[in-house]
């Protein structure tokens, strides 16, 4: 591992049409009590004034701000985050969303936790939620995962992978990237990046983290403010056909990605039931979001969209096909009881 880091922290912010929220996000980073960081904004071909707003902050960051413009829109935050990680120079990496912001001492506290406990991952169990207009309501402290899993002091997560997976399946780990603070070399050495998916990429990414990390520190300190954005990917209005395609995309990619990753761990090769439970957990989330669409479209319409989307996607989808056959047989047996 290379210990000759030029900076302590790299903050990575994927950006797409965030003009309404970006100024508050950047001001919160600029106001940090910890100054040994770089900020990498990766612009996913914004069509509004986001890039101009970011450029107006260049001088104020005194050389610590870099703006990377992607050649074409990638459709989610996955690729921009991966690009930012590749270009980052910090010992630690922190991912933010462009519509959120930090408390003034967030980076200082996260860095102190990581250094004091020598953790590869610092997982924040709590934070704040607020509406789009941050001045209209007070911040509301929230648990990122069910309160029964939360701690009142910093505590290391178990090193037992099977126990971690069981907690993952019970949503004891929050999925969004901004809940976690990393050693960069942990992510790079374990080839942990975001799969190129429109949505749900953080479910796959978080699963990789809990399986690969040796030292995960859970902390109760709320530092991040998540702002409700009604024009986010999940909040946009789509036709039933487009909605089905939107949630089918992560299903096509995610099942195969998870299955391939689990091939590298003996525990999943020995325990096929645990592997299947992970795949079912991921697939169920996608199907739950498709439920209303299935009620709206005719069966032949759903079938046609499935055929078209599968034919356009990459890979042979061996794991997905095996999973779908298994689930079809399961439900057939259930219906015949």
Residues 65 and 180 reside in one and the same domain: yes
Q: Which of 171, 202, 227 is the last residue of a domain?
A: 227
9-45 pLDDT, tens digit per residue, is 999 999 999 999 999 999 999 999 999 999 999 999 9
Residues 63 and 177 reside in one and the same domain: yes
Residues 207 and 313 reside in one and the same domain: no
CATH number for the domain including 196? Answer: 3.90.550.10
pTM: 0.91
Which residue has better confidence, 132 or 271? 271
Residues 138 and 209 reside in one and the same domain: yes
140-166 pLDDT, tens digit per residue, is 889 988 888 988 999 999 999 999 999
Taking the CA of residue 3 as centre, how many other CA atoms within 13 Å lie in the half-sphere pointing to its CB?
Answer: 0
**Angstrom distances, CA of residue 77 to CA of 15, 46, 64, 317:** 8, 12, 22, 23
- Given a cut of 80, whether residue 326 has pLDDT beyond it is no
Which stretch of 35-44, 229-238, 245-254 has the lowest confidence by average pLDDT?
A: 229-238
**Total number of domains constituting the chain:** 2
- Given a cut of 70, whether residue 1 has pLDDT beyond it is no
Mean pLDDT for the stretch of residues 236-262? 90
The span from the CA of 166 to the CA of 250, in Å, is 22
Q: Which of 177, 194, 227 is the last residue of a domain?
A: 227
Q: Is residue 14 part of a domain?
A: yes
Residues 97 and 190 reside in one and the same domain: yes
Which residue has better confidence, 235 or 37? 37
Residues 118 and 251 reside in one and the same domain: no
Q: Is residue 140 part of a domain?
A: yes
**Range of the structural domain that residue 299 is part of:** 240-335
**Backbone region of residue 70 per phi and psi (left: phi > 0; alpha: psi in -120 to 50; beta: other values):** beta
Which stretch of 57-66, 256-265, 295-304 has the lowest confidence by average pLDDT?
A: 295-304
Q: What is the pLDDT of residue 220?
A: 96
Q: Is residue 314 part of a domain?
A: yes
Residues 246 and 168 reside in one and the same domain: no
Residues 120 and 213 reside in one and the same domain: yes
Residues 207 and 263 reside in one and the same domain: no
- Given a cut of 80, whether residue 138 has pLDDT beyond it is no
Residues 214 and 128 reside in one and the same domain: yes
Residues 203 and 274 reside in one and the same domain: no
Q: What is the pLDDT of residue 329?
A: 63
Share of the chain above pLDDT 70, in %: 93
Residues 142 and 258 reside in one and the same domain: no
- Given a cut of 60, whether residue 233 has pLDDT beyond it is no
Helices assigned H by DSSP within the chain? 22-30, 50-55, 78-87, 106-117, 161-169, 184-189, 201-212, 240-262, 266-270, 272-296, 299-312, 318-335
């Amino acid at each position: 591992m290379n210990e000759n880091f030029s900076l302590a922290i790299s903050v990575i912010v994927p950006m797409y049409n965030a003009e309404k929220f970006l100024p508050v996000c950047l001001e919160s980073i600029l106001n940090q009590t910890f100054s040994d960081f770089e900020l990498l904004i990766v612009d996913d071909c914004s069509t509004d004034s986001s890039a101009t707003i970011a450029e107006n902050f260049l001088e104020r960051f005194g050389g610590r701000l870099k703006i990377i413009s992607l050649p074409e829109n990638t459709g989610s935050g996955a690729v921009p985050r991966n690009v930012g990680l590749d270009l980052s120079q910090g010992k630690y990496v922190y991912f933010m969303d462009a519509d959120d912001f930090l408390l003034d001492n967030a980076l200082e506290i996260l860095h102190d936790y990581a250094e004091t406990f020598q953790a590869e991952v610092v997982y924040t169990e709590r934070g704040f939620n607020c509406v789009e207009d941050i001045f209209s309501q007070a911040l509301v402290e929230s648990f990122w995962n069910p309160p029964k899993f939360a701690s009142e002091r910093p505590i290391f997560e178990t090193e037992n992978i099977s126990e971690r997976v069981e907690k993952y399946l019970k949503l004891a780990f929050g999925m969004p990237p901004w809940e976690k603070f990393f050693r960069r070399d942990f992510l790079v050495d374990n080839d942990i990046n975001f799969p190129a998916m429109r949505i749900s990429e953080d479910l796959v990414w978080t699963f990789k983290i809990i399986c690969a990390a040796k030292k995960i520190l859970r902390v109760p300190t709320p530092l991040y403010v998540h702002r409700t954005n009604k024009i986010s990917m999940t909040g946009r209005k789509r036709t039933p056909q487009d909605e089905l395609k939107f949630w089918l995309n992560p299903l096509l990619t995610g099942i195969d990605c998870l299955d391939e990753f689990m091939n590298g761990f003996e525990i999943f090769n020995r325990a096929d039931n645990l592997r299947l439970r992970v795949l079912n957990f991921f697939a169920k989330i996608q199907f739950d979001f498709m439920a209303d669409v299935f009620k709206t479209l005719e069966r032949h319409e759903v079938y046609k969209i499935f055929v078209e989307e599968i034919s356009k996607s990459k890979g042979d989808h061996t794991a997905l096909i095996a999973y779908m056959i298994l689930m079809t047989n399961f439900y057939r047996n259930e219906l015949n009881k």
